[in-house]
Amino acid sequence: MGGAAREAIAGLDWWHVIEVAPGVVTAGGWDLRPAAERMPWPPSLRGMRCLDVGTMDGFWAFELERRGAIEVVAIDLVDPRERPTFSVAADLLGSRARCRKLSVYDLDPSDVGEFDVVVMGYVLQMLREPFRGLEAVRAVCRGHLIVIETVSRPLSLLPSPLARLDARRDGSEWFVFNPRGLRKALRLGGFDVEASTPVFRDRYGPPYRGERISLGARAMYGLGIRGRSVGIRARPRLATGDAG
């Protein structure tokens, strides 16, 4: 099985590190396995219907399934027929998760139904209209929202702003919130925060041949200058209004 799995994943452009067979992992740039162990998950996902927003290769979709979800729908702007990594990983894992091309803005309960748990992994920072995205998620979320986001951290004693526009100065992200700003954004988007993690460091995947991550970027993440995240669990508010 290991040899066949290695052959199946070879040559594909992976974003996530995913263990597709015992001891066989994809050559992804980001290793989210430590983050998954820190997330403020609900007490149990057993039997739940779940949604993974911005799935890419499917790490969070497969993690939801591994934790007991009975049905997982994954969405992204990339057509899964053009980027086969999700389907390759799903086949190797024996996953029943389904992936479709769909924008978070276009989530509609009459189309996709409602979900007990929705995961948004590093999605809000990529959205030009994060509150519109949260409102769309709220329309299909009947239970919990799990958000994992990069957060800004001050390098001095001065407080960081609630949110920074074009924080990387390279156009790769629209907004980066600080931890308080992220909680505020969720409240304004119609959610009540239930639990959150302390700030933790992001983890790169192991270096691999042909990767696009520079040594300088790896050093910045290793030193903690960049690459800090938090995980938050929230519930949709029953009645909308000014969250203050």
List, for residues 11-59, the tens digit of each pLDDT value: 898 999 999 999 999 988 889 999 999 999 999 999 999 999 999 999 9
Tokens at 70, concatenated: 């009975």
Query: Are 216 and 226 spatial neighbours (Cβ–Cβ below 8 Å)?
Result: no
Q: Is residue 132 part of a domain?
A: yes
Q: Is residue 48 part of a domain?
A: yes
Q: What average pLDDT does the chain have?
A: 87
Collapsed DSSP state (helix, strand, coil) of residue 137: helix
Express as a percent the part of the chain with pLDDT over 70.
82
List, for residues 116-157, the tens digit of each pLDDT value: 999 999 999 999 999 999 999 999 999 999 999 988 765 545
CA-to-CA dists, residue 230 to 39, 124, 237, angstroms: 8, 13, 21
Q: Is residue 54 part of a domain?
A: yes
Q: Which amino acid is at 127?
A: L
- At 242, the pLDDT band (50, 70, 90 cuts) reads very low
- At 212, the pLDDT band (50, 70, 90 cuts) reads low
- Say yes or no to pLDDT of 109 above 70: yes
Distance CA 229, CA 219 (A): 17
Distance CA 196, CA 15 (A): 25
Give the pTM.
Answer: 0.87
- Say yes or no to pLDDT of 224 above 80: no
Q: Which amino acid is at 158?
A: L
Can you give the residue range of the structural domain that contains 231? 33-236
pLDDT at 243: 43
Q: Is residue 4 part of a domain?
A: no
Residue located via tokens 């390098």: 155
What is the β-pairing status of strands 228-236 and 141-150? Answer: antiparallel
- Report the CATH number at residue 169: 3.40.50.150
Total number of domains constituting the chain: 1
Q: Is residue 2 part of a domain?
A: no
Torsion of CA 116, 184, 156, 38, to 10 degrees: -10
Q: Is residue 51 part of a domain?
A: yes
Q: Is residue 22 part of a domain?
A: no
- Say yes or no to pLDDT of 84 above 90: yes
Q: Is residue 241 part of a domain?
A: no
